[in-house]
Structure 1
């Protein structure tokens, strides 16, 4: 491990001892997110992603090398976008919303299942976690990162899923306007993420919504585990 202030740590967005856990959480997070887009599009009649081999849970098919490296250097990244041809959809607006929403919901599912398994291990399985143990850090990463991915991808900023949903739900005249502004909005998005301004914009959003989503999942599981 590189000590704090070491040469490696200067170039990483996360402490070196967290990298393995973050990577193991991102693999299913990215893979299931993109699989959900591809599978839902296929079920609604678009064979594009299916033909390109994207209806799979193999993370290597979905990972983008640059986007993956960016996660560890910049603190955010991306997977390969799933190709979707909406002309194949029988009901394009409804299918478009559901295909886009499927990705973030897949991340929420990972977080929920991980939280459920955590309570199974600790409440029913007799596992006594020790502070900062590998098990605790693994489940913290699986739950926390996938909640963040769920919230992050639903932000109404291009190129995120939330913006695509907004476009599909908007009336035609407004949808055209959103498309015209997309290039400028992407530039704004990048500026926010590479400058301290992003902390002021996104900080309150994540500090409010991420704990709220976690609390909601705990509330669902509380009757089952007697929490």
Structure 2
């Protein structure tokens, strides 16, 4: 198997990732128990750290799938350690996605791991490597929404409930946006192996700008409205009410003050 060609140290989980997990756990506990004087601060730290965890898992899915598809160089690059500092473009992979969440409440992972595609044979394998990331976001969204669609919300504090709803929204937006057939995003990566060589060469120069183009397009009110109508419909089907995601965003932006509809102190 291809994993035999990677050293044990190449697959050891990074202390950096474990630290992020620890922050997620502690702030999740603070959100649940109301330990923090301002619940919004705990929600902000919990959602942000959990979002970074999902970014790491997104890129790990790409790397792990590439490893099993033939790229045995993945281990030496450090991608299997889940350490975000090992990514090819830390700015695109962590910093910009976090800023997007803060600015617009939009979850959008960026390209991060460098895969030596010449080592991989078969168009289906190339497509699967690209699809692995968005599929991870889908799985994360299902986990976040499980208490909602399972009807297991009895006893769940409002702040934690709202935080989960907002985190689920981020995962759904990430899965959908990153699946768009736009150069630079995973959706295009799924299609690219099936395109002609001449078409791929014409599109390639636009790949670095695909992420920014999508984010800019979402600032157009008409596009933004339609997009979030679709997101709300998906979340509603998973048992998450629009008000819950709205309150999650309001708590996340604690510096703007908590809206009276989203009070968790009553």
- Answer whether TM exceeds 0.5 for this pair: yes
127, 140, 144: which one aligns with 1:97: 127
> What is the aligned-residue RMSD (CA, Å)?
3.2
* Matching of residue 211 in structure 1 with residue 232 in structure 2: yes
- Residues 148 and 69 of structure 1: CA distance in aligned 2, closer, same or farther (over 3 Å): closer
* Matching of residue 42 in structure 1 with residue 67 in structure 2: yes
- Distance in 2 between residues matched to 1:186 and 1:121, nearest whole Å: 36
Q: CA deviation at 1:45?
A: 0.9
Which segments of structure 1 move beyond 6 Å, counting only runs of 4 or more? Answer: none
3-state DSSP class of the match of 1:128? coil
- Distance in 2 between residues matched to 1:164 and 1:138, nearest whole Å: 31
Segments of 5+ residues of structure 1 without an aligned counterpart are 1-14, 219-227
Deviation per residue, 1:154-181 (Å, 9 max, x gap): 1222321112223223233433332255
Q: CA deviation at 1:28?
A: 2.4
* Matching of residue 162 in structure 1 with residue 162 in structure 2: no
Q: Which residue of 2 aligns with 1:106?
A: 136
Q: CA deviation at 1:146?
A: 0.8
Deviation per residue, 1:7-66 (Å, 9 max, x gap): xxxxxxxx8775224303312220110110111011101123321111134556556463
3-state DSSP class of the match of 1:48? coil
46, 67, 71: which one aligns with 2:100: 71
Q: CA deviation at 1:117?
A: 4.5
TM-score, length basis structure 2: 0.60
Q: Which residue of 1 aligns with 2:223?
A: 201
TM-score, length basis structure 1: 0.69
195, 202, 207: which one aligns with 1:177: 202
- Distance in 2 between residues matched to 1:181 and 1:110, nearest whole Å: 29
Output aligned runs, 1:144-155, within 5 Å. Answer: 144-155=169-180
Q: Which residue of 1 aligns with 2:24?
A: none
* Matching of residue 33 in structure 1 with residue 54 in structure 2: no
Q: CA deviation at 1:201?
A: 2.8
151, 155, 163: which one aligns with 1:128: 155
Of structures 1 and 2, the one with the larger relative CO (CA 8 A, separation 6+) is 2
Segments of 5+ residues of structure 2 without an aligned counterpart are 1-39, 240-266
- Distance in 2 between residues matched to 1:203 and 1:158, nearest whole Å: 23
3-state DSSP class of the match of 2:223? helix
- Distance in 1 between residues matched to 2:171 and 2:180, nearest whole Å: 15
Q: CA deviation at 1:106?
A: 0.2
- Distance in 2 between residues matched to 1:69 and 1:214, nearest whole Å: 21
- Distance in 2 between residues matched to 1:110 and 1:184, nearest whole Å: 27
Q: CA deviation at 1:183?
A: 6.0
